A and B are shown apart, each in its own frame.
Chain A
Amino acid sequence: MSKGDGARQPATANRSSARDEGRRKPPDTEFVQLLTPDGSRVEHPDYDVDFTDDELRGLYRDLVIVRKLDAEATALQRQGELGIWASLLGQEAAQVGSGRALRKQDMAFPTYREHGVLYCRGIDPIMPLGLFRGVDQGGWDPNQHKFNMYTIVIGAQTLHATGYAMGIAMDGKVGSDDGEAVIAYFGDGATSQGDVNEAFVWASVFNSPVVFFCQNNQYAISEPLERQTRVPLYQRAAGFGFPGVRVDGNDVLACYAVTRKALDDARHGQGPTLIEAYTYRMGAHTTSDDPTRYRIASEVEAWQAKDPIKRLRSYLERTHAADDTFFGALEDEAAREAGALRERVLSMPNPDPLEMFDHVYPTGSPEIDEQRETFARYLETFAGGH
């Protein structure tokens, strides 16, 4: 199995490159790719997909809409309608591929950037925008959506995902096709955190049905990958005792195939897998960031040639699976969805200040009740128009 083989590869990182921050190593040749940057289908001995044209168009549609909604959110932030936005630009294939690989019963634990996964779960894209607008801190029910709240504290959610997976095993919900699995998202920077390494230990010794999906977008804010690791990240899995695989993170087909397999292994009781989706953060870390301070334009341009959407479009065109009518209609649809999202963001009400006292404890607290009442009386002193 290539996953195991991959995990046994020797470390190939060039030690002297650790400080050479401008230079990026090309991906290892063994990484899983099914669709090349120019849109050619290639074979892989262990992974394959067999999508109908309709399904391929569906994936393409996801990619386009996810990118469009993301661009709309960036624009909303620029116009002061969101406090901040963490764009997924460039990472659409990793998110759509893995997101579509999830089965209905599977549970996802995102970071703050998994808007594309959320979309593929069939969740209303407005759901996380309250957090970024500053009107709430999530506010959704993770169990209802099978999608945990966004986690900003780097790496923390990998442990939550592992614990959830342990619960699945305790409930006897592994070992069959309708077994459940969990996916934990995190970045390359997060792999340095203790929490993430502890999650690997727990998942391994308890053989938990969890897939660790690392989007290696090459940067943790300004810090390049070399500041976090000297071995390819997927190879770390070997030391913890489970398979690791590196996939072309800009290839939606490969991301789908690899994630599907890892999730199915997990649900069948075969334990965790680490997937390293090798990709690139095309935009700023967030709208607060200025990447020109730490990376050069030519690096970004080189990754533009590997764009996840362009390559699927080339493939669809080459195989006549989609025509201009389809692409045109999709553009209109994406614009409509973005426009609708914008309207709904603009009409999000500001919270009532007194709501901040709600839900601190499930069983309440007399002290907080007292503070709420005192504050309400205080606010009333302004109502009279002093």
Chain B
Amino acid sequence: MATLTLGKAINEGLRKALEDDAKVLIMGEDVGKLGGVFRITDGLQKDFGEERVIDTPLAESGIIGTAIGLAIRGYRPVCEIQFDGFVYPAYDQIVSQVAKMHYRSRGKLRLPIVIRIPFGGGIGAVEHHSESPEAYFAHTAGLKVVACSNPADAYSMIQQAIATDDPVVFFEPKRRYWEKGEVDTSVAHSEAYPLFASRVVRRGNDVTVAAYGPMVKTALDAATAAAEEGRQLEVIDLRSLSPLDLGPVFESVRRTGRLVVVHEAARAGGLGGEVAARVTEECFYSLEAPVLRVTGFDIPYPAARVEEEFLPDLDRVLDAVDRSFGW
């Protein structure tokens, strides 16, 4: 057991993946000498060389496009997009190329590419540095999309994402990079909790709260606060956004009869809507109240000095819980 920050846990996971498989490459802007602007790749170029930890020219379309070629050639590129808001120059390569090549080749071609994206707000950044673009990717068939929420998961999930032959968009909750947790680095990723699976992270029988990435901690904090008022929240970390693993959510909602879904991304077209629809389809007779969403508003990510109001927080989660009970 080691106590690691979430950022360091990803760093250790990447290191392990580089050790385990000589075909694994890391590529991105400033990932080499600098170790990435968040230092997630710190020390890796020093230890694995410039051939495997590659500072790329400043062009996201180029990063993903060349990763595709490297993958066709047998490599396993792990691409870092420096911030959420800078993935869009690569969007065409991701959606039109990465997502479709396996399908178009009728299964002959595999693109084991991981696209790491630090996402979400709460760090007081300027525009384009706080966005939550996961729905754009979850909407695209052929891409798997996951989000880690804690150091232990971060360590295993990044290795599993690299090991799978599916292309994975890997979202990292940047504002949680510095939060610490226990990580058992002796557990092989193949033995760890599966990648494309959700997980109950707190038990409770009164209301279910589903969240992912940075909002898992927010949901857990809300659960702690609610418990003081005698309400038991069951918190589920969705972890995999495509495919969604809603079995544990259905099971939970059948017990609680209430569901609140939380994400930073905008409400319109967001994953909360997808979860709500499926839970309604599966658990209609168990529901005591409509599924409620606590999300960012349907506006561009605002200036940093109002982001606290924009972002879902403990109070807004509890408010939704109250509304669910008030139904």
Interface of B is mostly: loop
Q: A121 CA to B303 CA in the complex, in Å?
A: 26
For chain B, residues 70 to 119, give those with C-beta under 8 angstroms from any C-beta of chain A.
85-86, 88-89
Q: A193 CA to B59 CA in the complex, in Å?
A: 5
**A221 touching B30, Cβ below 8 Å:** yes
Contacts of B33 on A, CB cut-off 8 Å? 21, 222, 293-294
A-B contact pairs, 20 of them (CB 8 A): A83-B124, A83-B125, A131-B303, A154-B86, A189-B58, A194-B59, A194-B62, A222-B55, A223-B30, A293-B34, A294-B34, A351-B302, A351-B303, A356-B297, A356-B302, A356-B310, A360-B298, A365-B298, A371-B297, A371-B299
Which of A131, A228, A350, A353 is the one whose CB lies under 8 Å from B58?
A: A228
Can you add 11 more A-B contacts, CB < 8 Å, to A84-B126, A220-B58? Answer: A19-B50, A131-B303, A134-B305, A137-B127, A154-B86, A190-B58, A194-B89, A351-B302, A356-B303, A371-B298, A378-B319
**A192 touching B124, Cβ below 8 Å:** no
Q: Does A132 contact B (CB under 8 A)?
A: yes
**B297 touching A228, Cβ below 8 Å:** no
Which of B34, B35, B58 is the one whose CB lies under 8 Å from A192?
A: B58
Q: Does B300 contact A (CB under 8 A)?
A: yes
Q: Does A170 contact B (CB under 8 A)?
A: no
Q: A360 CA to B315 CA in the complex, in Å?
A: 26
Q: A223 CA to B32 CA in the complex, in Å?
A: 9
Taking the closest CB of chain A, its distance from the CB of B263, in whole angstroms, is 15
Mark each residue of chain A from 206 to 226: 1 if its CB lies under 8 Å from any CB of chain B, else 0.
000000000000001111000
For chain A, residues 178 to 235, give those with C-beta under 8 angstroms from any C-beta of chain B.
189-190, 192-195, 220-223, 227-228
Q: A195 CA to B62 CA in the complex, in Å?
A: 12
Q: Does B306 contact A (CB under 8 A)?
A: yes
Q: Does A305 contact B (CB under 8 A)?
A: no
Contacts of B303 on A, CB cut-off 8 Å? 130-131, 134-137, 351, 356
Mark each residue of chain B from 30 to 63: 1 if its CB lies under 8 Å from any CB of chain A, else 0.
1011110100000000000010000111110110
Q: A228 CA to B56 CA in the complex, in Å?
A: 8
Taking the closest CB of chain B, its distance from the CB of A91, in whole angstroms, is 18
Q: A51 CA to B41 CA in the complex, in Å?
A: 51
For chain B, residues 297 to 324, give those with C-beta under 8 angstroms from any C-beta of chain A.
297-300, 302-306, 309-310, 315-316, 319
**A83 touching B89, Cβ below 8 Å:** no
**B30 touching A134, Cβ below 8 Å:** no
**B55 touching A227, Cβ below 8 Å:** yes
Taking the closest CB of chain A, its distance from the CB of B142, in whole angstroms, is 23
**A293 touching B128, Cβ below 8 Å:** no
Q: Does B29 contact A (CB under 8 A)?
A: yes
**A133 touching B305, Cβ below 8 Å:** yes
Q: Does B268 contact A (CB under 8 A)?
A: yes
Contacts of A351 on B, CB cut-off 8 Å? 302-303, 305-306
Taking the closest CB of chain B, its distance from the CB of A223, in whole angstroms, is 5
Q: A83 CA to B306 CA in the complex, in Å?
A: 13
Q: Does A153 contact B (CB under 8 A)?
A: yes
**A154 touching B298, Cβ below 8 Å:** no
Which one of A84, A137, A355, A360 has the greatest number of beta carbons of chain B within 10 Å? A137
Q: A190 CA to B60 CA in the complex, in Å?
A: 11
Taking the closest CB of chain B, its distance from the CB of A369, in whole angstroms, is 11
Residue of A nearest to B35 (CB): A293
Which of A130, A294, A353 is the one whose CB lies under 8 Å from B309?
A: A353
Q: Does A367 contact B (CB under 8 A)?
A: yes
Which one of B267, B298, B315 has the greatest number of beta carbons of chain A within 10 Å? B298
Q: A223 CA to B160 CA in the complex, in Å?
A: 30
Q: Does A152 contact B (CB under 8 A)?
A: yes
Q: A367 CA to B269 CA in the complex, in Å?
A: 13
Contacts of A355 on B, CB cut-off 8 Å? 306
Contacts of A365 on B, CB cut-off 8 Å? 298
Q: Does A375 contact B (CB under 8 A)?
A: yes
Contacts of A190 on B, CB cut-off 8 Å? 58
**B305 touching A367, Cβ below 8 Å:** no
Contacts of B305 on A, CB cut-off 8 Å? 133-135, 350-351
**B34 touching A131, Cβ below 8 Å:** no
**B58 touching A356, Cβ below 8 Å:** no
Q: Does A368 contact B (CB under 8 A)?
A: yes
Contacts of B268 on A, CB cut-off 8 Å? 367
| 9 nearest A-B pairs in the assembled complex, by CB-CB distance | A134-B304, A222-B34, A192-B57, A353-B309, A189-B58, A356-B302, A192-B59, A134-B305, A192-B58
Contacts of A288 on B, CB cut-off 8 Å? 37
Mark each residue of chain B from 256 to 291: 1 if its CB lies under 8 Å from any CB of chain A, else 0.
000000000001100000000000000000000000
Mark each residue of chain A from 276 to 315: 1 if its CB lies under 8 Å from any CB of chain B, else 0.
0000000000001100011000000000000000000000
Q: A289 CA to B36 CA in the complex, in Å?
A: 11
Q: A103 CA to B306 CA in the complex, in Å?
A: 38
Taking the closest CB of chain A, its distance from the CB of B262, in whole angstroms, is 15
Taking the closest CB of chain B, its distance from the CB of A320, in whole angstroms, is 45
Contacts of A135 on B, CB cut-off 8 Å? 303, 305
**A360 touching B300, Cβ below 8 Å:** yes
Contacts of B57 on A, CB cut-off 8 Å? 189, 192, 223, 227-228
Residue of A nearest to B123 (CB): A83
Which one of B89, B127, B315 has the greatest number of beta carbons of chain A within 10 Å? B127
Whether A192 touches B86, Cβ cut-off 8 Å, given contacts A293-B35, A351-B305, is no
Residue of B nearest to A291 (CB): B34
**B37 touching A356, Cβ below 8 Å:** no
Contacts of B124 on A, CB cut-off 8 Å? 83, 134
